[in-house]
Chain A
Amino acid sequence: MVTTDVSTPVPTAPRVSAARVGAVLEYFFTYSFRTREALTLLGVIWLTAVTEPVLYLLAMGLGVGSLIDSTIPVDSHQLSYIQFVAPAMLAVSCMSGAISASIFSFYTRHRHLGMFTMISTAAVSPAEVVVADWLWEIIRVTMLSAIFVAVMVVAGVVGVGNALVAFVATILVIAAFAAVGIGLSTLLRGWQDFDIITVAQTVLFLFSGTFFPIQQYPEWLQVIVQLSPLYQSIALLRALTIGDFGMALVVPIGYLLLMVVAGLLFSVRRLGRDLGR
């Protein structure tokens, strides 16, 4: 037992050591692969991960796309419907992957399994727990986005070069949503609040220029939609998949970086308070 003299100020600067973050990551890793069954199930889930983009592209491209005879204008480009909708579906998949990974799994592990309380008594700071968890979610969800991008290439929706650039951008999108998601999950009071998250995700999904250009909306609504993080992610991925590398990309990239920083700082503060540090 270490006794702390409460009169001496405890250092408050978040300290983050790569070694300790690595150790926590390793713990998450071994925990996930703890049993044979867990491993088998994980394998099956990876297998099904491929089906999701294939289904979406089939339904949107072949199905809805075939009802639309015109092309969709994006900046100076004229896109087929599938070209228009595929990068948006990719962004949505990154968002929901990162949100469900961070919110649902962070919540279960923190509140129900008490995992973070346990880790943080082992001389690991809240900042290190948050960073480790954030990296862990990024690793898991990035594997999904890689599969999605690969399917897009195979389907001929995007060229290999642009696909690689877009894949790198998905890491940023996932990082942004994961950071914010961890912060949000520290605010949840119980399972009943998950409904709010689901509805919020649906609103973003339907109204962020996913299925049709936001020029369809009245002027004032367009402004609001542009504030949506999903809209910014879609704008970034759509531009990159059609090879539109310009200064205009500064806005979405800046927006997403801001989400990363704000999300992480907020999470560290909240978790620190939760764990009584």
Chain B
Amino acid sequence: MANPTITVLERHMLLYQRLWRASAFSLFILPVLFLTSIGLGVGGYIHQVDGHDYLQWITPGLIASTAFQTGANESTYGVLSEFEWVGGIKAMRSTPVRIQDMIRGWLIYVLIATELAVAAFLIVIWLAGALTPGLAISAPFVCGAVSLAIATPTTAFSAAINDQDWFLVLARFVILPATLFSGVLFPISQLPAFIQPLSYLSPLTHAVELMRDFAFGTATPMTVALHFAYLLAWIVAGWFLANITYRRRLTD
């Protein structure tokens, strides 16, 4: 008997197949662009951060940031259009597939899309000769976790709204501040003292620290466990919210 979650995933992968050629290009080109312009360009004016070259220092954070963006972006229009325009989810609703199967299948799809983006990023770094084992092994786990940490609440949000303009609000109030102030481009310690605790609310901050700890070999079991626990808390909370908003929309 086919697992319902898997059958939901199969549909998403089928739909993705039509798009992958277009997105494969940007998956590879965007890391190159970011690394050369920010890493090399801006890095030309920055001597060292925490004893590392700027390019070296931002690379782990940029990978985490890419995963974070993928998780968030996939879960906006992709979810809303299912409810508003596509009707695929209403079709699923007419079958034995349960709401939790729908959400689970969807999130696994987001996870796969994220890992593809992460893999492309790692390949670019490897081609540049800068891939370390620590980075290669930890990236899929950390990035998968941070992607789901933002994807679950974003999915819940997208299932609760009916006007796509709300995504503008989400982008400006949540995604942009998280991207800018999670220690990707500069250490959080540079921020005013009152902003620093806010930074630690963002799941991306924890993912960036994890990635750097693994890349530079400064990870300790304690910090790794705490960071992962925080990401897990987001995933679990988002999962419950998504179940609530999906249920409200589909049992009407």
Give the B-binding residues of A (Cβ under 8 A). Answer: 37-38, 41-42, 44-45, 48-49, 51-52, 55-56, 58-59, 62-64, 66-70, 72, 81, 192, 195-196, 198-199, 202-203, 206-207, 211-212, 216
Contact = CB atoms under 8 A, between A and B. Distances in A.
17 contacts: A41-B165, A44-B169, A45-B168, A51-B177, A59-B181, A59-B185, A59-B186, A64-B185, A64-B186, A67-B46, A67-B190, A81-B45, A203-B33, A211-B42, A212-B41, A216-B41, A216-B44
Contact of A56 (B54, B180, B191): B180
Instruction: Tell me the interface secondary structure of chain A in the complex.
Output: helix
B37 interface: yes
Contacts of A62: 190-192
Contacts of B38: 206, 211
Contact of A66 (B25, B30, B37, B190): B190
Contacts of B233: none
A48 B171 CA distance: 9
A211 B29 CA distance: 19
B173 to A, nearest CB: 6
Contacts of A66: 186, 190
Contacts, number: 89
Interface centre among A59, A70, A211 (most CB of B within 10 A): A59
Contacts of A49: 172
A192 B163 CA distance: 21
B169 A48 contact: yes
Interface range, B side: 35 or more
Given A62-B192, A64-B186, A199 B37 contact: no
Contacts of A51: 172-173, 176-177
Contacts of B41: 211-212, 216
B240 interface: no
B172 A52 contact: yes
B190 A211 contact: no
A81 to B, nearest CB: 8
Interface of B is mostly: helix
Contact of A59 (B40, B49, B169, B180): B180
B138 interface: no
Contact of B45 (A52, A70, A196): A70
B169 A45 contact: yes
A35 to B, nearest CB: 10
Nearest to B57: A67
Contacts of B37: 206-207, 211
Interface string B4-40: 0000000000000001001101100110011001101
B22 A67 contact: no
A41 B163 contact: yes
A41 B165 CA distance: 7
Nearest to B85: A112
Which of B37, B169, B185: most chain A CB closer than 10 A? Answer: B37
A192 B17 CA distance: 13
Contacts of B165: 41-42, 45
Tell which of B25, B33, B40 has the most Cβ of chain A within 10 Å: B33
Nearest to B26: A199
Contacts of A67: 46, 49, 54, 186, 190
Contacts of B126: none
A41 B23 contact: no
A203 B36 CA distance: 11
Contacts of A52: 172, 176
A45 B30 CA distance: 28
B44 A195 contact: no
A72 B45 contact: yes
Given A62-B190, A62-B191, A212 B42 contact: yes
Contacts of B216: none
B185 A63 contact: yes
